[in-house]
Structures are given as structure tokens and as C-alpha cells.
Amino acid sequence: MRVSVLALQGASALHEAALRALGAETVPLRTPGDLDDVDAVVLPGGESTTISMMLERNGLFEPLAARLGAGLPAFGTCAGMILLADEVLDGRPDQRSFAAIDVAVRRNAFGRQVDSFEADLRIEGLDGGDFPAVFIRAPVIERAGPDVEVLAAVDGRPVLCRQGPVLVAAFHPELSDDLRLHRLFLDHVTSLGPVLADRATAD
């Protein structure tokens, strides 16, 4: 499996390392050509306003939007989750998102006094006990549409959700020494099979 990891800003190297440890081939995503022949994409954390601007500057926003619209599987973490969301609350007015998953996310939702924290998450469908999740100026999911599965929550607020081929996490799974969430994503991509429509659109 070939996975493109957005590498304009933020922590792409640790995501690539996790995916490679699980046997996937990875490609840093910097130009539209880096999307050729990939089976999935990962959007790491960072600063969603900056990433949104850089996606446009690099001519990547529209090509990535087209691939996502055609069903390319995606895993967005923290700022990456914000970029995949249908609606962004407390965003900058010029900040764009792909609307690839029917959720509304609020940026920096856990408040200043808890800028960063770790939480042991019980994740639906994940064997081997709680997942040690690292949250850094994390967003939260304030609304999840009827077709969205909530796989984990903190204090009743969803922080890990999936809809079809799109998985989003409010935290940074690449910072935990635990590959289970990346494996969950890759297994899900495999179970979906090849995305024929999206290969056709890419031509």
C-alpha cells in the first residue's frame, strides 16, 4: 500500500515512520504529482490555518479535494482533522477545509489551561487496552452527522470519528509509541479495496 503524507508543515516524519513500520510505502505530499497512484493520504497535525494557506499556495488544495471527493481514504490528526471537517468553528475566515467528513470541529477547544494533556482512550474496535492519546491545542468534535461513527470520546466529547473512508483524530497518534491506530487505518483502507473512481479522476 502506498500512502501519501502531507508534508507542508507539521509532524509528517513520525507518521511516515509509523506507516512504514507497518509495511506501507510512504510518499511525502508536497506537489499534486505526489498524489499519483496513492491508496490513501494522511494529514498530520500542525497549524490548520497555515496548512490551509500552504495547500493553496502549492496548488494542492483542489487536486486533493478532487481525490477526497472521489473517495480517497484519509486519516487526519489534530490540524489534519480540522482540514477534513465539514465545518470549522473558531477558524480564521479565510481558512478552508475539505468537507470530507460530516463533523463540525472547534479549534483549540480544550482551553488554555489544558493546552496539552494525555488521556487513556477506550477505542471502539481496538484490541489491547486503552490507547495513550496525546492532545496538543486540540480541537474537539462538536457535531457528528448521522453517518459518522464515534470511536472514542473524552468527557463525552468525540475525539476519534470515522465516516466511510475518512478517519479523524483530535490527538496525535504518531507521538504515542503505539502503532494500533495507524494499523486500524491501514486495515480499514485494505478492507475498502481499490478506489477505482479516484484513479479515473486522477488521469
Q: Which residues bind ligand GLN (CB under 6 A)?
A: 45-48, 78-79, 82, 107-108, 136-137
Enumerate residues 6+ apart whose C-beta is below 8 A from 15. Answer: 5, 26, 42, 44, 77, 174, 182
Instruction: Look at the chain and count its residues.
Output: 203
Tell me whether residue 105 or residue 195 sits nearer to ligand GLN (CB atom): 105
- First-to-final CA distance of the chain: 19
**Is-catalytic flag, 161?**
no
Q: How many whole angstroms separate alpha carbon 55 and alpha carbon 63?
A: 10
Q: How far apart are CB 32 and ligand GLN at their closest, in Å?
A: 23
3-state secondary structure of 129: coil
Nearer to ligand GLN, 158 or 195 (CB): 158
C-alpha cell belonging to residue 173? 497518534
| 78 part of the active site | yes
Task: Give me the least distance between CB of 11 and ligand GLN, in Å please.
Answer: 8
Cell 461513527 belongs to which residue? 149
Minimum CB distance to ligand GLN smaller for 48 or for 163: 48
Looking at 15, 16, 161, 174, which residue is catalytic?
174
Q: How far is the CB of 203 from ligand GLN (least distance, A)?
A: 33
CB of 110 to ligand GLN, least distance (A): 10
When the beta carbons of 49 and 201 are compared against ligand GLN, the nearer one is 49
Of residues 78, 161, 182, 188, which has the active-site annotation?
78
Distance CA 133, CA 122 (A): 10
Q: Which of 15, 161, 172, 188 is catalytic?
A: 172
What's the closest the beta carbon of residue 155 comes to ligand GLN, in angstroms? 19
Which residues touch 53 (CB under 8 Å, ≥6 apart)? 94
d(CA 130, CA 143): 24
Which of 78, 159 has the CB closer to ligand GLN? 78
Q: Catalytic: 174?
A: yes
Q: CB under 8 Å to 67, separation ≥6 — which residues?
A: 35, 41, 198, 201, 202
Q: Provide the annotated active-site residues.
A: 78, 172, 174
